Amino acid sequence: MTLNPEPGNAITHAADSLARAYQSDLRQPALIRERILRQVVDLGLASGRAIDVGCGDGSTTASLAAVVPERPVLGVDISAAMIDAATANFGDLADFEVGTFEQMPVEPSSAALITALNMWHLVVDREGALREASRVLKSGGLLAIVGALREDLAIQTIHRLFPAFHRISYGRHQSRAQLTAMAELNGLRPILFETVDFEVPLGLPSQVVELVAEKPFFDMRLMTDADFDAGFDAFRHDLSELPEDEAVTTPSRCSVVVFSVGEA
C-alpha cells in the first residue's frame, strides 16, 4: 500500500494555512450542496454511519448531517487546523477527526455513505483512497465524489481569466473517464453520474481582486509564486475593464459521481 501523505506535505500545508479563512460557499452555495446530498441519500442507504472525507471547515459535514439527521456523522480531514475549525463550527452536529481518505480512522464495513466534496483533486494516492472506501463501506454502501472534474473547469470565469490557474487545475482534476475507470478497477460500481450547473456570487470586481489575492482555492496555493503573480496581474487587468458597480457572478459546474460497493 502506498504510504499516507505525511503531515507537512504541500496539501496539508495549504489546508492548514487556509483553515481560518476557508469559504465553502465558493465551491457550491450551501443550498446547492444540500440538494446534491439529498439526491445521493435518496438513492437508498444501508444501515451505518455517514463519513464526510476532506471535510474542511465542516460546512459540508453540517450539510450531510442535515440530510441524514438520524445517523452518526464523522468528518475526516488531513489537516489538524481544518479539524479544529470544523469542531469549533459544527462540533454539535458531527464528530471530527484527523485522518486521510487513504487511511480513515474507522472500522471495516462500518459506513453506509462516504461523501467527498471538492477534494478528490487533492488526494495524493487515489487508488489507495478507493481501496480504503471499499474497506470502510458496508456491502451496498455508497461513495459520492462531488466537485469539478476536468471537463467542468473551463466554464468558470476565474479559470477563463486566469490561465495559469486553469493549467494547474487541469493537471490535478481527473476526467470523468479516468475516475470511473479507476473506481471500477478498485471494486466500485458507478450508479449515478450527473453534472450540476449553478452560479457563484463573487462580489464587485474590486472585491473579487481582493478575494483572489488571498488565494482562496487550493490550486492557487499549489502554484509557484511566480506563476500566481503573473496570472494574477493579467486577471486583475481583465477585471478592471468590468463596470465597478456591478457584482460579478461566475457560472460554475460540478460533477456528482456515486459508486456502490458490493453486489448489484
Ligand X SMILES: C[S@@+](CC[C@H](N)C(=O)[O-])C[C@H]1O[C@@H](n2cnc3c(N)ncnc32)[C@H](O)[C@@H]1O
Which lies closer to ligand X via its Cβ, residue 37 or residue 205?
37
Look up residue 31 and give its three cell numbers: 443550498
Mask of contacts with ligand X, 213-232, x by CB under 6 A?
Answer: -----x--------------
Q: CA 187, 189, 194, 198: dihedral to nearest 10 degrees?
A: -30
Please check whether residue 37 is in contact with residue 63, taking contact to mean a CB–CB distance below 8 angstroms: yes
Site string for ligand X, 156-195 (x = CB under 6 A): ----------------------------------------
Pattern 10-49, ligand X, x by CB under 6 A: -x---x--------x--x----------------------
Binder of ligand X out of 100, 157, 169, 186 (CB under 6 A): 100
Give me the half-sphere count of Cα atoms (radius 13 Å) on the Cβ side of residue 31: 4
Out of 37, 40, 50, 55, the only residue in the binding site for ligand X (CB under 6 A) is 55
Q: Judged by CB, which is closer to ligand X: 165, or 218?
A: 218
When binding is defined by CB under 6 A, the residue of 41, 45, 50, 53 that contacts ligand X is: 53
Q: At what angle do helices 59-67 and 30-41 cross, to 10 degrees?
A: 40
Report DSSP state, residue 133. Answer: H
Shortest distance, position 240 Cβ to ligand X, whole Å:
28
Q: Which is nearer to ligand X, 25 or 233 (CB)?
A: 25
Contact in structure between 114 and 139 (CB atoms under 8 Å):
no
- In the complex, the smallest distance separating the C-beta of residue 122 from ligand X, rounded to whole angstroms, is 4
CB of 215 to ligand X, least distance (A): 12
**Residues 6 or more apart in contact with residue 40 via CB below 8 angstroms:** 113, 115, 142, 144, 192, 256, 258
Answer left, alpha or beta for residue 118, where phi above 0 means left and psi between -120 and 50 means alpha.
Answer: left
What amino acid occupies position 23? Answer: Q
Query: Contact with ligand X (CB under 6 A): which of 114, 119, 143, 256?
Result: 119
- The Cα–Cα gap between 244 and 193 comes to 39
The residues of the shown chain that bind ligand X, judged by CB under 6 A, are 5, 11, 15, 24, 27, 53-56, 59-60, 77-79, 82, 100-102, 117-119, 122-124, 218
